[in-house]
């Protein structure tokens, strides 16, 4: 069994939302050969101060057109790490992180772990 770990966001800094929605969207990652897929949000880095960070997975059947609704998502507070399983069987995914906290900037890393 081959394990592959992608890091869509690596210590990405997002400003305080202040009425906006600062975000970062990764490039597309091929996951069609995954037997299992796990998504991890690491939000306990120095500077991870947001009390409301959305981490969203968007799926694509062809690698070009991505869903407008999340395939999977989670909301996480400051100084937390969260891992969730994601149903395999999709072709490509993009990861978006978004800071909803109006007062606090933040820093986040995400990881996609898959097994072939």
How far apart, in whole angstroms, are the C-alpha atoms of residue 9 and residue 27? 10
The CATH number of residue 110's host domain is 2.60.120.380
Mind listing the pLDDT tens digit for each residue in 45-68?
A: 999 999 999 999 999 999 999 999
pLDDT of 71 strictly over 90: yes
Q: What is the pLDDT of residue 18?
A: 83
CA separation for the pair 23, 86 (Å, rounded): 22
Number of domains comprising the chain: 1
In tens, the pLDDT along 101-110 reads 999 999 999 9
C-alpha distances out from residue 23 to 3, 86, 90, 112, Å: 28, 22, 24, 18
Residue 89 neighbours by CB under 8 Å, 6+ apart: none
Residue 19 has pLDDT above 90, yes or no: no
Residue 33: domain span:
3-115
Angle at 53 between CA 49 and CA 55, to 5 degrees: 140
Has residue 12 got a pLDDT over 80?
A: yes
pLDDT of residue 94: 97
Q: Residues 94, 66: contact at Cβ < 8 Å?
A: yes
User: Dihedral (C-alpha) 97, 101, 103, 109: value to the nearest 10 degrees?
Assistant: -30
């Amino acid at each position: 069994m081959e394990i592959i770990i992608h890091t869509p966001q690596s210590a990405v800094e997002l400003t305080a939302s202040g009425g906006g929605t600062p975000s970062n969207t990764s490039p597309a990652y091929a996951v069609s050969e995954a037997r299992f897929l796990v998504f991890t949000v690491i939000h306990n880095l120095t500077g991870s101060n947001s009390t409301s960070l959305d981490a969203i997975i968007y799926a694509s059947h062809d690698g070009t057109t991505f869903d407008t609704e999340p395939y999977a998502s989670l909301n996480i507070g400051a100084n937390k790490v969260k891992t969730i399983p994601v149903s395999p069987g999709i072709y490509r995914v993009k990861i978006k992180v978004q800071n909803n906290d109006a007062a606090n900037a933040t820093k986040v890393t995400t990881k996609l772990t898959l097994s072939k």
